[in-house]
Structure 1
Amino acid sequence: MVATRTPRAPGALPLAAALLTATVALYITLVAFGNITDFGTNQQFVRHVLAMDTTFKDDDLMWRAITSTAWQDTAYIAIIVWETLAALVLLAATYLWIRSDHAHARRISTYGLLMVLLLFGAGFIGVGGEWFAMWQSKTWNGLDAATRVITLAGIVLVVIHLPFPAKAASSRTDSA
């Protein structure tokens, strides 16, 4: 008995990994660029979150507030530096995907995506959302946006770690 097996497209998953990595690279590049070129807008966001001035102002929590503009601006600059580095790493990973250097692309993509996940997960949701009670603010609350970024970056991280099929011949016959 001879069975003909239709091969899977060996390039589909690496292509998806490349395009998804490029999507996150584009996003975080635009975020960093926006924060650099329109410094004041998100500077105010960071200042209000750290100052906790639009939260419920619970006495049991307000000791956490950082009201020094120097420390607030230092935190904001650190965020921008982290975003810029993550963007550069993901852009490099995208280049590696395009060059079909899948092993290196997967590793570099992982580093960049973890940087994004740390910033938006640990930084914005953990530190901003819980420690500085950002969730209490109706005006300065970035939890929904952070959740969207974590979802996107997390999905991309899963996709790039799926096993890629071996390159198959255009047609293959198996004898049994």
Structure 2
Amino acid sequence: MLILKFVHALSKALIAFFVGFFCLIVGYGNIIDYETNFAFVQHVLSMDDMEPFFDGKNIIHRAITSPLWHHILYNLIILFEIIAGILCVIGAIIMFFNVNKNNFSLGQAFFIGGATVAIAVWYFGFAVVGGEWFAMWANKWNGQMKAYTFSLFIMLSVIYILIPTPKNLQS
């Protein structure tokens, strides 16, 4: 049973690492290839590349057209992606080194902090604010489905990582 408990805990640490590594790769990619996703953020905020079916005259006043604000908000997105990644990886490392110890929950706490930041970026930032406030759903630069996909995987990871060790694996 001890080996099963070890594998169970190791699995949680690995999933935490995968989420953190994902966040770090996304943030790093946005830094080294700044212009690619900056264009995405710029068009969504400006609401300037809407689909032909979208009238939007009642909400177009929400658009942010200042290039300065585009850069500020994009850099905040990158910053929060990196913070999420760092917290999740720290959590994973703590879990790895405490697989059969009481400090395992400290790693889980770090992971939950990072996952919360990640969900704030992709669910709240992209799906809610981008999707609804800036009508990204009607924009040719629509990233809502990716945002939902990222958010769902992260939320499922949170649930899995917080599930208690089954009683039959406890020693």
TM normalised by structure 2 equals 0.89
Number of positions where the alignment pairs a residue of Structure 1 with one of Structure 2: 163
Structure 2 residue runs of 5 or longer lacking an equivalent are: none
Q: Which has the higher contact order (CA 8 A, sep 6+)?
A: 1
Larger radius of gyration: 1
Matches within 5 A, 1:66-145: 66-100=64-98, 101-137=103-139, 139-145=140-146
Post-superposition Cα deviations, 1:13-59, rounded to whole Å, max 9, x if no partner, equal 21221111111111111100000001111111000000011222511
Distance in 1, Cα, partners of 2:58 & 2:156: 37
- For the 8 Å contact 1:89–1:109, the answer to whether it is kept is yes
RMSD value, Cα? 1.7
Q: Distance in 1 between matches of 2:90 and 2:152?
A: 22
Higher relative strand content: 1
More helix by share: 2
Counting only pairs closer than 5 Å after superposition, residues 1-176 of structure 1 correspond to structure 2 as 9-55=4-50, 56-100=54-98, 101-137=103-139, 139-165=140-166, 168=170
In the alignment, the residues of structure 2 paired with residue 105 and residue 38 of structure 1 have an alpha-carbon distance, to the nearest angstrom, of 31
Relative to the length of structure 1, the TM-score reads: 0.87
Deviation for aligned residue 1:12: 2.9
Q: In structure 1, list runs of 5 or more residues that go unmatched.
A: 1-5, 170-176
